Structure 1
Amino acid sequence: MPAFDNYCNGQWTDSESGETFEVRNPADPTEVVGEFPKSTAADTEAAIEAAVAAQEEWAETPAPERGAILRRAASRLEEQAEATAEMLSREEGKALAEASGEVARAVGILYYYAEKALDLGGTIKSSSSTDTRLETRVEPLGTVGLITPWNYPIAIPTWKLAPALVTGNTVVLKPASQAPIVAHQVAKCLDEAGLPDGVLNLITGPGSEVGQTLTMSDDVDAISFTGSTVVGQHVGETAAVEGKRVQLEMGGKNPTVVMPSADVDTAAEIVSAGAFGGTGQACTATSRAIVHEDIYDEFVNELVAAAEDLSIGPALDGYDVGPHVSESELEGTLDYIEVGEAEGATLETGGSVPTEARHESGYFVEPTVFSDVDTDMRIAQEEIFGPVVGVIPVSSYDEAVELANDTRYGLSASIVTENLSEAQQFVDDVEAGVVKVNEKTTGLELHVPFGGMKASSNETYREQGDAGIDFFTTSKTVYLNY
């Protein structure tokens, strides 16, 4: 059984507690894929201390040199992409093709921010006084804490790490306990690329110990969190009391609106990909299809056919849909399926644990489609985080937008239409941080901002692209009278 250590001050070390926890393959829970330190508050404090000690020298390192380290790390990760994708599939359950795409995304993020290092600096402004130079400078915040989820276990840590490091911050990273292996792989690549000791520290363990210590420490200047809304709100409240800069990206209840002008086959493919890709375990997953009544029945039939065409099985064996990451996640999805039936929605397909030999021990569930869903139902309002989509009928564009916005969340939304006016109007009307036309709600470009509205985010700073740099920096304005 592979054993993994914490990464603290340039060294791979055990927890001071001596305790560990296991990560198991969700397609075959009898297989232990890794053993990790069950770290304590003391371990976390040691990591913070190392980061603080390294921060001044790292901030003074020229930005292009910091970028060169990221570039070398990207190259190393790229060379190990195939093995890393297999690790990701084995620990998280994601289909291998999707895992490979996620690893490629992490590589791209490192390369992207390596090049952005060349553009870091400030601006020159015209002064209203003579003989005066007026300029701004961009500086790192200091030491930052990153708390990341299990569903994109390499992409999300990397899109937080890369801008934090390249702008001169030091980092303590807490990856999710369900899938920490690939975050270790990124740390290893950065270490081998020459990252100075203490600049990055990776600590595994429970949120009550590691996450809480990061959030409350006086020596941590900012917290970037991605995860559930309940935990995120607690992190935000605690960090705000401590005066930290906070970035929260949380849940979603993402709609795809399908209008009469849409090609129904294409619309069903878009919704199926958004709802069932990654086993529905994405904050941007499509969980509501809001469909005009003129094409409703035809759409439901096509979506059911698309769902039933998907193969279910272990991620490494080439199946379309892998398992849930854990037994508790599977049970949560099955509970919501029961809720949907009890509320009166029509279960069109799926809803059960598959029974073939390859499914015997894993956390599998069939892709599930409900029709006749009312917007007041729990399955239309609460995040399920599984391969479940509810189809809601509407009679007009205005009603579709009203229902799309009728949720506490506002992360991602899409519309399928061949009417340009509808498409443009939807972009204006929908309450979501990511809006797509004729595309699935999942999938993000790495060089543009990402984030939600309402309960999906604290709506301060976006992630990725230039916005990622903005969160991890502050500005200084300089008046120079010569």
Structure 2
Amino acid sequence: MFNTYTKSVFIDGEWQDINEKLAEVIYNPATGKAITSVAYAGAEETKQAIHAALQAFPIWSEKTGRERASFLYKASQLMLEDAERLGNILTMEQGKPLREAVGEVKGAVQFLLWYAEEASRNYGEWLPSSTNAKRLVVMSQPVGVIGAITPWNFPSSMITRKLAPALAAGCTAVLKPAPETPLSAIEIMKIFERAGLPKGVVNLVTGDAEAIGKQLLTHKEVRLLTFTGSTAVGKHLMRESAEHVKKLSLELGGHAPSIVFPDANLAKAASLVLASKFRNNGQTCICTNRLFVHESVVADFIQLLKQKISKFQIGDGLEDGTTIGPLINEQACKKVEGHVQNAVEKGAVIEYGGERWHKQGFSHCYFNPTILSNITEDMKIMHEETFGPVLPVQPFSDETEVITKANDTDYGLAAYVFTENTSTAIRVSEKLDYGIVGVNDVFPATPEAPFGGVKQSGLGKEGGHHGMEEFMEKKLISFGMN
């Protein structure tokens, strides 16, 4: 049994001493072994963090964009220099292959860099008035203290994707990382410290998720809550935040369709579909959840998928060559099993995989990459987000038919189209009811572009200048003229 403890509550520029008897153990999902323990803080610590952020807000918000940018530039440099070590920590607590983990850290760096550049671009407007008796000016100002709740599947990049634009805009923050993956958040806070972030500007609280979340929701001084997670939790946040009419930025669930047309480059499309589906072992909100392939090429396409999957290597993400790591926990594995079982009971054919992967010395949270055919619309997997390595394949014959099926969901985050015909690409992209459409591209998320869904996949955008606008309010100043 390990006997380590990692300080994980950072308030007003200080790492807090919390009763170690209340510590929460963090496990490596690949091995099931304990890594360390972190503080189990709650409502009182969250109140202190909010107070610290509130006290720091006037000083931070009054700095120029260039002054705030200098901090973000420094933080991006420090994080990039430390990417390999940070990637190792991320893999240990989350499970994804090391190559993916280091890639995520470097992606997180790019959000710091982008918003360092955006911090000086907070433009206002001088509006032409309808009368000579006044002049109209519109300016943008930071919303105030914000609460950020981040998920376990991307524990580094989701933090900088939220905090970088908030800091660039002049906001101060309280961060609550996912209980499963606090270690990456701790390391990012340490980087902020080394970069010279003033005390209280960003505060970190780990522990009792319900108590921390409730404070962020109900405290009137938290003016905006930004959250990435399930649609069910997002709906809860919307209801509970109504008391103070709190501003929300929500990136919620997805159920992404991929559509492969007969003129697509099949080999390239197969590689991209697999890269989308099995990145982070299917634990991403924008990964392909439903695959529609034209009936004239579906048999060949399934064979291509099986050939490529057979080369995947399952194991500990820290081992060389690993391409598929574990699911985050036993609950996640049971959900994947349930979706496969439900599909098979209703007639699905297992083309590849279909069961857990077992090996001595590893946890039980592994599931073999799986391809299912003979899919029907009444299967759970066609309506619920699996969040695991299962790919259901369904043939289609008509463009209108497949667009209708692709849009037949309450979600609207991302969708993908594979075709070599420009007219098809444009026509189908315009008709897909999603916030993001990738054409021959399954990695649409980038710091310079807006990321977000429609329908029950969320509110607001992250990335681009749009991401910074979420953390700002427009103020009209009307000057009466003599």
The TM-score by the shorter chain falls in which range? Answer: over 0.9
Per-residue deviation, residues 301-353 of structure 1 (Å, max 9, x unmatched): 11122222211111011301111112221222122221221121111111222
Question: What per-residue deviation string (whole Å, max 9, x for no partner) do you get for residues 268-298 of structure 1?
Answer: 1121111111100000011111111111111
Q: Which runs of 5+ in 2 are unaligned?
A: none
Give, in whole Å, the separation in 1 of the partners of 2:131 and 2:410.
50
**Preserved contact between residue 68 and residue 119 of structure 2 (Cα < 8 Å):** yes
1:263: how far off? 2.3
Aligned counterparts of 1:181 and 1:443: Cα–Cα separation in 2: 27
Q: SS of the counterpart of 1:455?
A: helix
Q: 1:370 Cα deviation (Å)?
A: 0.6
CA distance in 2 between counterparts of 1:147 and 1:278 reads 20
Q: What are the superposed Cα offsets for residues 413-444 of structure 1, whole Å, 9 maximum, x if unpaired? A: 0111112221111111101111011122x441
Inter-partner Cα distance in structure 1 for 2:100 and 2:80: 16
Post-superposition Cα deviations, 1:229-253, rounded to whole Å, max 9, x if no partner, equal 1111101111123210011111111
Q: What pairs up with 1:352-431 in 2 under 5 angstroms?
A: 352-357=355-360, 360-431=362-433
- By how many angstroms is 1:133 displaced? 4.3
Q: What is the alpha-carbon distance in structure 1 between the residues aligned to residue 260 and residue 26 of structure 2?
A: 40
Per-residue CA distance 1:99-152 (angstroms, 9 max, x = gap): 111101111111111111121241223334448543221101111111110001
The 1:2/1:87 distance shift into structure 2, 3 A limit, reads farther
C-alpha distance after superposition, 1:384-414 (max 9, x if no partner): 1001110011111111111111111111101
Change (3 A) 1:17 1:51: farther
| AA at the equivalent of 1:471 | E
Q: Percent identity?
A: 36
Amino acid at match of 1:470: E
**Deviation of residue 375 (structure 1)?**
2.3
2:342 to 339, 342, 350: 339
Secondary structure at the aligned position of 1:409 is classed as: coil
Q: 1:5, CA displacement in angstroms?
A: 2.3
> Residues 362, 317 of structure 1: CA spacing in aligned structure 2 closer, same or farther, 3 A cutoff?
farther
Question: Is the 2:416–2:437 Cα contact (8 Å) retained in structure 1?
Answer: yes
3-state secondary structure, aligned to 1:311: coil
- Following superposition, the deviation at residue 33 of structure 1 comes to 2.2
How far is 1:77 from its partner?
0.9
CA RMSD of aligned residues (A): 1.6
TM-score by length of 2: 0.96
Matches within 5 A, 1:61-100: 61-100=63-102
* Displacement of 1:479: 2.6
Tell me the distance in 2 between the aligned counterparts of 1:43 and 1:137.
Answer: 34
Give 1:56-205 correspondences, 5 Å limit: 56-130=58-132, 133-205=135-207
In 2, are the aligned partners of 1:84 and 1:185 still within 8 Å (CA)? yes
Name the residue aligned to 1:248. 250
Distance apart, 1:183 and its partner CA: 1.4
In structure 1, C-alpha distance between the alignment counterparts of 2:360 and 2:284, rounded to whole Å:
27
- Residue 15 of structure 2 corresponds to which residue in structure 1? 12
Kept in 2: contact 1:15–1:40 (CA 8 A): no
User: SS state of the match for residue 325, structure 2?
Assistant: coil
1:262 aligns with 2:264: yes
Equivalent pair of 2:410/2:455 in contact (CA under 8 Å) = yes
What does the per-residue CA deviation read over 1:180-209, in whole Å, with 9 as the maximum and x for residues that have no partner? 111111111112211111111110113211
Matching of residue 351 in structure 1 with residue 354 in structure 2: yes
Select 1:239's aligned residue among 241, 247, 269: 241
Give the corresponding residue for 1:463: 462
Contact 1:290-1:391 within 8 A present in 2 as well? yes
Secondary structure of the residue aligned to 1:278 is helix
CA contact (8 A) 1:348 1:371 kept: yes
Q: Which amino acid aligns with 1:416?
A: F
Which stretch of structure 1 is more off in the superposition, 234-243 or 316-325?
234-243
Kindly provide the amino acid, as one letter, of the partner of residue 191 in structure 2: C
> Residue 312 of structure 1 aligns with which residue?
314
Please report how far the alpha carbon of residue 16 of structure 1 lies from its aligned counterpart in structure 2 after TM superposition: 6.2
Kept after mapping to 2: 8 A contact 1:253/1:409: yes
Q: Which amino acid aligns with 1:446?
A: P
- 1:451 matches 2:431: no
For residues 259 and 224 of structure 1, do their structure 2 counterparts lie closer, same or farther at Cα, with a shift above 3 Å needed? same
Q: Distance in 2 between matches of 1:331 and 1:378?
A: 14
Q: In structure 2, how many angstroms separate the alpha carbons of the residues matched to 1:16 and 1:48?
A: 21
Q: Secondary structure, in 3 states, of the residue corresponding to 2:318?
A: helix
What is the count of residue pairs matched by the alignment? 477
The aligned amino acid for 2:68 is R
Taking the aligned partners of 2:57 and 2:243, their CA distance within structure 1 comes to 24
Structure 2 residue matching 1:29: 3-state secondary structure: coil
Consecutive unaligned residues of structure 1, counting only runs of 5 or more, are: none
Matched-pair contact (CA < 8 Å) for 1:255–1:287: yes
Structural mapping, 1:206-217, within 5 Å: 206-217=208-219
Question: In structure 1, what is the equivalent of residue 43 of structure 2?
Answer: 41
Q: Is the 8 A contact 2:435 2:453 kept in 1?
A: yes
Provide Cα deviations, 1:73-98, integer angstroms capped at 9, x if missing partner.
11111111110011111110011111
- Closer/same/farther in 2, CA of residues 320 and 421 from structure 1, 3 Å limit: same
Distance 1:371 1:332, change over 3 A: same
Aligned AA for 1:448?
Answer: A
CA contact (8 A) 2:358 2:366 kept: no
Distance in 1, matches of 2:109 and 2:440, equals 27
Question: Structure 2 counterpart of 1:445, which letter?
Answer: T
User: How far has the Cα of 1:10 moved from its partner?
Assistant: 0.7
> Could you tell me how far apart the structure 1 residues matched to 2:116 and 2:175 are?
19
For residues 142 and 410 of structure 1, what CA distance do their matches in structure 2 show? 30
Q: How do 1:24-35 and structure 2 match up within 5 A?
A: 24-30=27-33, 32-35=34-37
Q: 1:74 to 1:2 in 2, by over 3 A?
A: farther
Q: Output the CA distance in 1 between the equivalents of 2:178 and 2:191.
A: 19
3-state SS of paired residue (2:302):
helix
Within the candidate set 2, 6, 31, 1:3 is matched to: 6
